[in-house]
Amino acid sequence: MHTPLCDKLGIELPIFAFSHCRDVVAAVSKAGGFGVLGAVGFPPEQLAVELDWIDEHIGDKPYGVDIVIPGKYEGMGEVDPVKLEQQLLAAIPEQHRKFADKILAEHGVPKLPEGERPVGQLLGWTAATATPQVEVALKHSKVRLIANALGTPPADIIEKIHASGRLVAALCGSAKHALSHKQGGVDIIIAQGSEGGGHTGDVGSVVLWPEVIDAVAPTPVLAAGGIGNGRQVAAALAMGAQGVWTGSLWLTVQEADVPPAQMESYLKATSRDTVRSRSFTGKPCRMLRNAWTEAWESADSPGTLGMPMQFMVTSDAVSRGHRYADKAKDVMFNPIGQVVGQLNSVRSVKDVIYQLVEEYLQATERLQSLTA
pLDDT, tens digit (0-9, with 9 covering 90-100), for 224-265: 999 999 999 999 999 999 999 999 999 999 999 999 999 999
The mean pLDDT value for 147-158 works out to 93
Query: Over the stretch 92-109, which tens digit does the pLDDT of each residue have?
Result: 999 999 999 999 999 999
Give just the sign of the alpha carbon dihedral 232, 235, 237, 240. negative
Q: How confident is the model at residue 117 (pLDDT cuts 50, 70, 90)?
A: low
Q: Please tell me the predicted confidence (pLDDT) of residue 76.
A: 78
Q: Please tell me the predicted confidence (pLDDT) of residue 358.
A: 98
In sequence order, what are the beta bridge partners of 147? 66, 169
Beta strands, E only, 94-197: 143-148, 167-172, 188-192
Predicted confidence (pLDDT) at residue 167 exceeds the cutoff of 80? yes
The residue type found at 332 is M
Predicted confidence (pLDDT) at residue 126 exceeds the cutoff of 60? yes
Predicted confidence (pLDDT) at residue 315 exceeds the cutoff of 70? yes
Low-confidence winner among 35-39, 275-279, 321-325 (lowest mean pLDDT): 321-325
Q: Please tell me the predicted confidence (pLDDT) of residue 115.
A: 73
Q: How confident is the model at residue 304 (pLDDT cuts 50, 70, 90)?
A: very high
Q: Please tell me the predicted confidence (pLDDT) of residue 120.
A: 58
The angle, 0 to 180 degrees and rounded to 10, between the axes of the packed helices 127-137 and 81-91 is: 140
Measure the CA–CA gap between 13 and 3, rounded to whole angstroms.
Answer: 8
Q: What angle do CA 307, 68, 10 make, to 5 degrees?
A: 165
4-73+125-256+347-371 CATH fold? TIM Barrel (3.20.20)
Q: Domain locations in the chain?
A: 4-73+125-256+347-371, 81-122+270-323
Measure the CA–CA gap between 28 and 338, rounded to whole angstroms.
Answer: 22
Q: How confident is the model at residue 9 (pLDDT cuts 50, 70, 90)?
A: very high
